[in-house]
Amino acid sequence: MNILKTKEIYEKLNSCNKCGFCQATCRVYKATLNEFNCARGRIRLIKAVADGVLARSRFYEDAVNSCTLCLECTKTCPSAVPTAKLILAARQDLAATKGLPLAKSIALRRVFPSNTMQKMAFRSLKMIKDKKWFREFRGIDLAGLPVADESFINSSQKLPGLKNPRLKAAFFVGCLMSHTIVPTARNLVKVLHANNVAVVVPKEQRCCGTPQFVYGEGKTFGELARHNIELFNKLDVDVVVTGCASCGSMLKNYGDLLENEAAQKLSAKTVDITKFLVDTLQVDLTSLPGIYGKVTYHDPCHLIRSQGIAVQPRRILTSLPGIEYVEMEGADSCCGAGGMFQGFYPEIAAKISQRKLAGVIKAGVDTVVTACPACMLRIQGRLNIGGHKQQVVHLVDVLAKAYEAEKPLAVASEKL
């Protein structure tokens, strides 16, 4: 049966009262003022397709695909209509009935799932990104994108061991962190080591499956999920730590999506690094030497709304000696990346990012801290393109610096 007609989805399609409150928080709507770019409009169209009165036209595809899945509407909706879920169902329906366009299909089925293909893709990217025509591609700052010569996963198979670790963690790195911001990945390990947590980075880990899931490529998603579940469940670790909000959110959803014990086991074990540090390890940062900077924090959508984590990163930043923390306007609104959204809808993404940048500039800080590689790269990229001087770093980058200042750590440090 068509997913749109399942009781679960169809009931929810009918639960929208068209109150229109979603317009207030939908960043895409604010950028275009098109009714079909807000939850109310999208749901109306999906329902029309489900009822068979609307064809799956380009317009419909556009309406369904032009959502960043930032979850603001879902949080705002007084009737608790699960818009994100409905959009994902619609995308699944589109993938099943019309198939994915070629570019997406190659990316989602061939490139992301294979570590080898990923390596080749990033290597090609590294070769062209500084060439004149590719410095900026659809609003994405390619020139400024750091691409590592060797992925973190490959280069971190020999990590220093700890004598008596209090806990053992497996690190789910994620594609972006592994290929682009490698120093951040190293810093995450440093931070865990500084807290006497042993770290293992399984070499065979693959893409978490977010891009596939988000565009309705169910088959590939299933393969990836099952692979990761089997791999990580085999390990003798206490937690699976992530430093990417999207990967973390996906892993934590494996249980609900696959509905088997193994998936639920992995989901239960997965924890975001910020939450792990504050809630489990209960790090005490007050005695660290002061590192100085005026910073603000950007909430990744997948951290604040998917996982409900907002207090912990701020707790870390405000308790670090020497750090001046400023809360920026719109800290919790989407940065405009939306994964591949920024490439498919560059004008809308640019407008959304503009709002984020305005908040950064108004806060008067020199550093933006966040907890997701995609957000990091997007905000930094837009700052670069706009000629602004602010830096964007990951929370673990700040922490690692503090720990280093206390005592130099085993793994060679990188400049913050």
Partner 1 sequence: MLSSAVTAELKKIVGTMYCKCDENLVYGYDATLTQYPPDAVVFPGSTEEVAQVIKLANRELIPVVSRGAGTNLSGGSVPWRGGIVLNLTRMNRILEIDTNNLLAVVEPGLVNADFQEVLAPLGYYYPPDPASMKVCTIGGNVGECAGGPRCLKYGVTRDYIRGLEVVLPTGEVVMTGSKNKPVTDGYDLTRLMIGSEGILGVFTKIIVGISPLPAAKKTMLCSFARIEDATNAVADMVGEGIVPTTLEMMDNLLINCAEDHTRAGLPRDAAAILLIEVDGYQEDLPRQVETIRELCRKNKMREFKLATSAAEVDQLWVARRTVIGAVARRRPSYSLQDVTVPRNKMPAIVNKIVEISQKYQLPIGVLAHAGDGNLHPLVLFDERDPAEVAKVHEAEGEICRAALELGGTLSGEHGIGSLKLPYLEWEFSATALNLMKGIKRLFDPNNILNPGKVVGV
Contact footprint for partner 1 (CB under 8 A): 11, 14-15, 17-21, 23-24, 33-36, 40-41, 44-45, 48, 54, 57, 59, 63, 77-81
d(CA 67, CA 87): 8
Minimum CB distance to partner 1, residue 215 (Å): 22
Distances (CA, A) of 406 to 29, 289, 297, 313: 47, 6, 23, 20
Which CB, 42 or 179, lies closer to partner 1? Answer: 42
Which CB, 80 or 96, lies closer to partner 1? Answer: 80
Which CB, 78 or 387, lies closer to partner 1? Answer: 78
Minimum CB distance to partner 1, residue 345 (Å): 15
Which CB, 22 or 108, lies closer to partner 1? Answer: 22
Minimum CB distance to partner 1, residue 61 (Å): 12
Minimum CB distance to partner 1, residue 202 (Å): 40
Minimum CB distance to partner 1, residue 272 (Å): 24
**Token representation of residue 4:** 């749109």
Distances (CA, A) of 148 to 155, 181, 341, 413: 10, 7, 23, 16
Compute the radius of gyration of the chain from its Cα atoms: 21
Minimum CB distance to partner 1, residue 35 (Å): 4
The DSSP output letter for 64 is H
C-alpha 139 chain-centroid distance = 19
Which CB, 194 or 328, lies closer to partner 1? Answer: 328
Which of 101, 91, 95 has the alpha carbon at shortest distance from 9? Answer: 91
Which CB, 27 or 206, lies closer to partner 1? Answer: 27
Distances (CA, A) of 26 to 63, 77, 88, 89: 13, 11, 17, 19
Backbone angles phi, psi at 230, to 5 degrees: -65, -45
- Report whether 207 contacts 179 (CB < 8 A): no
d(CA 315, CA 282): 11
Which CB, 57 or 124, lies closer to partner 1? Answer: 57
Minimum CB distance to partner 1, residue 63 (Å): 8
Q: Which residues contact 372 (CB under 8 A, 6 or more apart)?
A: 244, 245, 246, 300, 302, 303
